[in-house]
Structure 1
Amino acid sequence: MILMTSLTKKIALLGIITAANVVIARTFLIPIPFTHGNINLCDAGIVLAALLFGSRAGGVVGALSGLLLDLISGYPQYMFFSLLAHGTEGYIIGQLGQKRQWLGPLAGTLVMVTVYFGADSFLYTVPTGLVGIPLNLLQGVIGVTVGYLLVVGLNKRLAF
C-alpha cells in the first residue's frame, strides 16, 4: 500500500487544476483579430491555484497552463512567452494576494499584459503589441473575476 502524503495530494490536485484549466480555456477560446492571440479563461485557474495554494502553485499552474494551451491551440510561437507570462502572473498573484487579495491579481494581470505586449512586438510589430493591450487586460479582468468567485465559493465549501 502506498501512503499518499499531503505533498502527493497537492501535486495531484494541481495537476487536475492545470488540466481542467487548459480544457476550459481551450473550450472558451476567442481569437483576437490583428494580434495572432486569443482571449480565454486561463487566468481563472491561475487565480484559483495561486490564492488557494500560494505562489509556487500559482506559478506552476500558470506556466503549464499557458504553455500547454498554446501548444494544443495552434499558437506554438507563443508557448514560451505564455509560460513566462502566466507563470509569473500566478507567482505574483500567490505572493501578493495572500495578504491583499486585490493587489495580487492586479499586479499579476499587469505583468501578463506587459509580457504579451513584448511578445507581440517581438514576433510581429509594436502596433500589434499595442492592439493586444486592452484585449489582454479584458482577458485578465474576466479571468480574475471568475477565479476569485471560484475561490470564494470553494473556501466556503472546503477546508484547506
Structure 2
Amino acid sequence: MSTKEIVYLAAMIAVTVAISRVFLIPVPMTHGNVNLCDAGIFIAALLFGKKQGAIVGGASGFLLDLISGYSQYMIFSLIIHGVEGFLVGWLAEKYGHLGKIASLIVGIVWMVFGYFLADSLLYQIQTGLVGLPTNSIQGLLGALIAYPVYLGIRSRVKNPSHS
C-alpha cells in the first residue's frame, strides 16, 4: 500500500466515523442505532474497490461502535461492515454500471442479515427481528446518499492504488 492510499483510506474512515456520529439515531429496542456509516463505506468501495471498501467498512464500523458506547458490537461491526465494503467493491468492479447499483443492494442485504445475526446472538431473535426494518432503512439511506455522491466525485478522485 502506498502512502497516498493509506492517507485516502484514513481520511475516508475519519469522514465516515464523523458523519456517522453527527447523524446518529439510537434504537433502544435493538441496543443499536441508525447512522450514515453505510454511506461512507459505499462511497469508498465504489471509488476504490473491494480491499479498500473492506478496510474502510471494518475500521469505520469498529471505531464507531467503540466511541458510541456500543462496544458489544465492535467485532461484529468489524466483520459485517468489512465484508459489506468488500462485496460492494468487488461486485462494482466486476459488473460495471449496473453492477454498482446491484452491489449496493447486496451490501444492504448482507449488512441487514449480519446485524440480524449479531442482535440474535447478543440478545435474542426478537431483537434481531426488530432490527430488520431499522437496519434496512440505514442501508437504503446510505445507498441513496452514496450513489449520487459517487457519481459526482468519481471523475475527480483517482484511485490511489492505480497511481
TM-score (norm 2): 0.91
Give 1:86's aligned residue: 81
Give 2:119's aligned residue: 120
- Structure 1 consecutive aligned stretches of length 4 or more whose deviation exceeds 6 Å: none
Distance (whole Å) between structure 2 residues aligned to residue 158 and residue 85 of structure 1: 26
SS in 2 for 1:102: helix
Distance (whole Å) between structure 1 residues aligned to residue 91 and residue 25 of structure 2: 29
Write the mapping of 1:52-67 to structure 2, written as runs, cut at 5 A: 52-67=47-62
Distance (whole Å) between structure 1 residues aligned to residue 156 and residue 140 of structure 2: 24
> How many pairs align?
155
> Residues 119, 148 of structure 1: CA spacing in aligned structure 2 closer, same or farther, 3 A cutoff?
same
Q: Can you give the 5+ residue segments of structure 2 that lack an aligned partner in the other structure?
A: none
Distance (whole Å) between structure 1 residues aligned to residue 2 and residue 48 of structure 2: 12
Residue 137 in 1 paired to residue 136 in 2? Answer: yes
Distance (whole Å) between structure 2 residues aligned to residue 34 and residue 132 of structure 1: 8
Residue 45 of structure 1, aligned match among 36, 40, 46: 40
> How big is each residue's C-alpha offset from its partner over 1:25-83, in whole Å with a ceiling of 9 and x where there is no partner?
01110011310010000001101110110000000000000000000000000000011
Q: Which one has a larger percent helix, Structure 1 or Structure 2?
A: 2
TM-score (norm 1): 0.93
Structure possessing the higher relative contact order (Cα contacts under 8 Å, 6 or more residues apart): 2
Give 2:7's aligned residue: 12
Q: Can you give the 5+ residue segments of structure 1 that lack an aligned partner in the other structure?
A: 1-5
Residue 75 of structure 1, aligned match among 70, 74, 85: 70
State the percentage of identical aligned residues. 50
Distance (whole Å) between structure 1 residues aligned to residue 74 and residue 104 of structure 2: 22
